[in-house]
A and B are shown apart, each in its own frame.
Chain A
Amino acid sequence: MLLSPKGASRSLAAVFTPIKSRGLVDEVCARIEQAVETGLLTSGQRLPNETELAAALGVSAVTAREALSQLRASGIIRTARGRSGGSFIADNVLPSRERALAQLHEVSRLQIRDLALHYQAIAAACAGVAARRSDAADVATLRSFIPAADDDSLSWRLALSEFLLEVAAIARSARLARELIRLQADLGTLTLLPCADSGYRGRTTLILEDVAAAIEAHQPAAAETGVKALIAATTDWLLTEQAKRY
């Protein structure tokens, strides 16, 4: 094995990073949270018991039990005992402004900037390829994700993330799409905050229309610039908001 001038290869270090045993539990929780956010599971709805959940998701009963208890601790589900007992999706479970603000105050400006850079790099790569590969049906689907100005902030947040995923779908790159999904998960509920601001919604609508037009007209450079501006609009909003805390 070759060593780099300063010692062991940096890429080798990752091999020895401990593997997190909580990975699967977190994954199950993330799936359920996502099902709630996209409206597939709704407040008050009964969840399957741990055996059924384990079978459905292809995990062990132990993993399902741990996931349920983690969801209970974070207030996503509540459990009732007795004959009509079981686990239910909690009442005010949708991502709330309060929770998003708490998250915004936990992260550093450096983290937001760095995440935005990564997000822009991936989204721009998608947009460039999408502009080369788009057809009329692709563009029609993409435009269907541009939300109306008066949609609520939850629908806006969902529509924005779906819009970028559609750009990745038009690019037809599985790797870039997976990376985009991971980045959106890292951003968490933060993106809910700007969506409540009508000024941001107005600016964003124009950018979304520009991106769709560039992808339709097969203009890679314009499409890249557009998605970068889209992500910058979000991060600038978040950084401005966060600065008020200091």
Chain B
Amino acid sequence: MSDTTSTAGPSAASPSAAPAGAGPAQASAERAVAELDSTIAGIEHRLAAWAADAGAALAAMSGKVTGTAVDKLIRPVVEDLVQLPDGYAAGAGFIANAGLLGPERSYIAWWQGPDLEPVDALANFSPNSISRYVKAEWFRIPVETGQAHVTGPYVDFLCSDEYVLTFTHPVFTHPDGPVAGIVGIDVTVQRLERGAMPALRRIGDRATLVNADGRAVASAASDIDAGDLTAPDEPCRHYPVGRTFTVWSDATGL
């Protein structure tokens, strides 16, 4: 996906219906959008690069994939991600699809927080652990579609019990082979909000960052909370952000 002009959002209309007399204010808004986009697209690019590296490393293990080997491959990357100053990752990791380590077996190598607390690690002792992940949106969709996906914002019961967005990306060991697993990064809405608020306020006092369903992630309006369903209050500008998010310069709660 391209840098500041990605267009895959559901309402990827080019900035339209600009109120009369825009000019410097709109230029400032567009710079703010570019900042937000580089944050979110940055997470997406990092994840895609990680998925490619992990796939190549797993392929090089040529069928002798073990839990220990997966941990060794994944943990250093997670360490970098969660310990990055001003980074967005609250947690990150890899989950094996059935078949990589055993028929019904998954394997989770996921850590959260600066102390790298292991997530759901008891599941690795279960012979049918794949049943735990197959229904989860952040696992199921990248596995089924072979495409990157963003889940949420949602309350993450499996890891942190926090309100998060989970960015996931399929991992391939062969270009057209089955999906070997997924890599993912959890971003808390809290952290994203802190980064997004200054930009949103420059865009407008009701500017709102929403996911593909129009659900608010962060908003400059005090009557719109993260998690609320919202709609653009036309006429309003629509700016695509990352692959699937949108900023509405003027949003209203539903």
Chain A interface size, as a band, is 20 to 34
Question: What 0/1 pattern do residues 160 to 174 of A give for CB contact below 8 A with B?
Answer: 000001001100111
CB contact under 8 A between A40 and B126, given known A135-B213, A178-B161: yes
Q: Is the interface of B mostly helix, strand, loop or mixed?
A: mixed
Q: How many A-B residue pairs have CB under 8 A?
A: 63
User: When the two chains form the complex, which single residue of A31, A135, A168, A172 contacts B153, counting CB atoms closer than 8 Å?
Assistant: A172
A68 to B8, CA, bound (A): 51
Does B154 lie within 8 Å of A57, measured CB to CB?
no
Question: What 0/1 pattern do residues 108 to 148 of A give for CB contact below 8 A with B?
Answer: 00000000000000000000000011010000000000000
Q: Which B residues touch A76, using CB under 8 A? A: none
Question: What 0/1 pattern do residues 98 to 136 of B give for CB contact below 8 A with A?
Answer: 000000000000000001011001111111110010000
Does A133 lie within 8 Å of B155, measured CB to CB?
no
| Interface stretch (choices A9-17, A41-49, A222-230) | A41-49
Does A35 lie within 8 Å of B155, measured CB to CB?
no
Q: Which A residues touch B125, using CB under 8 A? A: 41, 45, 47-48, 56
Q: Which A residues touch B122, using CB under 8 A? A: 31-32, 35, 40-41, 56-57
Does A45 lie within 8 Å of B127, measured CB to CB?
yes
Q: Which B residues touch A181, using CB under 8 A? A: 157, 161
Nearest-CB residue, chain A, relative to B188: A174
User: When the two chains form the complex, which single residue of B124, B129, B154, B227 contacts A56, counting CB atoms closer than 8 Å?
Assistant: B124
Q: Which A residues touch B127, using CB under 8 A? A: 45
Query: At the interface, yes or no: A177 with Cβ under 8 Å from chain B?
Result: yes
Does B227 lie within 8 Å of A169, measured CB to CB?
no
Question: What 0/1 pattern do residues 19 to 56 of A give for CB contact below 8 A with B?
Answer: 00000000000011001000011000101100000011
Query: At the interface, yes or no: A7 with Cβ under 8 Å from chain B?
Result: no
Nearest chain A CB to B106 CB, angstrom units: 11
Does B157 lie within 8 Å of A177, measured CB to CB?
yes
Query: At the interface, yes or no: B162 with Cβ under 8 Å from chain A?
Result: yes
Interface centre among B117, B118, B123, B157, by most A CB within 10 Å? B157
A135 to B129, CA, bound (A): 29
Nearest-CB residue, chain B, relative to A31: B122
Nearest-CB residue, chain A, relative to B160: A174
Nearest chain A CB to B246 CB, angstrom units: 16
Query: At the interface, yes or no: A18 with Cβ under 8 Å from chain B?
Result: no
Q: Which B residues touch A135, using CB under 8 A? A: 213, 215, 229
User: When the two chains form the complex, which single residue of A45, A47, A58, A174 contacts B155, counting CB atoms closer than 8 Å?
Assistant: A174
Could you list 8 A-B pairs, sorted by A, with CB under 8 Å?
A: A40-B122, A47-B125, A56-B121, A57-B118, A169-B157, A173-B163, A177-B155, A177-B157
B residues engaging A (CB < 8 A)?
115, 117-118, 121-129, 132, 153-155, 157, 161-163, 213, 215, 226-229
A residues engaging B (CB < 8 A)?
31-32, 35, 40-41, 45, 47-48, 55-58, 132-133, 135, 165, 168-169, 172-174, 177-178, 181
Can you add 5 more A-B contacts, CB < 8 Å, to A56-B125, A57-B118?
A: A58-B115, A132-B228, A135-B229, A177-B157, A178-B161
